Amino acid sequence: MHALRHQDWKNALALVAVVLLAGCAGPNAHKAPVEDRGTSRSQSPVAATLAETVPAKPLPGAENAGRPGYYTVKPGDTLIRIGLDSGQSWKDIARWNGLENPNLIEVGQVLRVVSPNATVTENGVTTRPVASSTVTATPVPAASAPASAAASAASAPSSAASAAASASKPAAVVSPASSGGEDDLAFIWPTSGSLIAGFDEAKNKGLDLGGKTGDAVLAAADGRVVYAGAGLRGYGNLLILKHNNTYLTAYAHNQTLLVKEDQSVRKGQKIAEMGSSDADRVKLHFEIRRQGKPVDPAKYLPNR
């Protein structure tokens, strides 16, 4: 009797196992549980379809992407950097694009980087009104007058050397495409320090000139200050001068900046004092940018 009962239990357990296996052997038995992220329980299929078909709001200026005279913002960009690379004042770019806060730009946003009054051809060449390229110098503030007078005296030999060397300038300095003689600028050396690093388009976009802390940094040509500050990483205390619609010059790693944004300066005026801000030594990093593109300053400066 006991053996019979034991056999009945075994048979019952076997029957239960068969039933359970049959229940698990359906068409989805081999699939792991998956959450359906396309249509959640709280969202109807119609709502999900609408969400997929309504496009995301386009970023400002997206319709101009790829057109000459426009720039698409990339990761890490700032308006100061975009201005330097396009040969423009960051304030002008902010105004042309109606940016209330110039610090708020988005990756993928498309910005106008030429004046609305400019004519831009398909190859990117711009033709601007000649009147807009005029730079009017203003008197130097009284606080910096002594330094400026000394700088002007110091620059006199350089100016003479520049005039003497103008005949030997390479043809590339005066471009056939120039409008109103914009390219015909006689730059001077911004400091008397020795050359410690030359131009390299990939590694060094200008010249590095040595010196001592506090040495005078001079404006290489008449122009207007379009940036004065330390907001561009790797440049330290930086000045950017706009000379006309073609050329900018940049002066980096200064200890002290002696001019302010929107101030007009004369060639040879002392605009800063040399330092080592954001650099491994005291030096002046000097760039000349032609329509935003770095060019070798040595080809534009008089022989020493």
**Is the pLDDT confidence value at 135 over 50?**
no
Asked if 235 and 206 count as a contact pair (C-beta separation under 8 A), the reply is no
**Is the pLDDT confidence value at 46 over 80?**
no
- Across the range 104-122, mean pLDDT stands at 86
- Across the range 265-277, mean pLDDT stands at 98
Q: What is the pLDDT of residues 220-230, one digit of tens each?
A: 999 999 999 99
Between 275 and 120, whose confidence is greater?
275
- Rounded CA gap, 136 and 246, in Å? 16
In order, the DSSP letters of 129-167 are: -GGGG-----PPPGGGHHHHHHHHHHHHHHHHHHHHHGG
CATH-assigned architecture of domain 62-128 = Roll (3.10)
Question: In the chain, which segments carry CATH 3.10.350.10?
Answer: 62-128
Question: In the chain, which segments carry CATH 2.70.70.10?
Answer: 142-169+181-299
- Across the range 90-116, mean pLDDT stands at 92
- Cα–Cα nearest to 144, from 295, 273, 304: 273
CATH code reported for the domain at 142-169+181-299: 2.70.70.10
Asked if 274 and 262 count as a contact pair (C-beta separation under 8 A), the reply is no
How much is the pLDDT for 211? 96
In order, the DSSP letters of 213-254 are: TT-EEE-SSSEEEEEEES-STTS-EEEEEE-SSSEEEEEEEE
Query: In whole numbers, what is the pLDDT of the chain averaged over residues?
Result: 75
Longest distance between any two alpha carbons in the chain, whole Å:
128
**Per-residue burial over 191-230, b = 16 or more CB atoms within 10 Å of its CB, e = otherwise:** bbbeeeeebeeeeebbbbbbbeeebbbbbbbbbbbbbbee
- Across the range 9-17, mean pLDDT stands at 61
**Is the pLDDT confidence value at 60 over 70?**
yes
**Is the pLDDT confidence value at 285 over 60?**
yes
Q: What is the pLDDT of residues 241-252, one digit of tens each?
A: 999 999 999 999
- Rounded CA gap, 300 and 189, in Å? 10
Q: What is the pLDDT of residues 31-45, one digit of tens each?
A: 434 334 344 445 555
- Across the range 4-16, mean pLDDT stands at 60
How much is the pLDDT for 173? 38
Q: Find the DSSP H helices in the chain.
A: 2-24, 45-53, 79-86, 90-96, 145-165
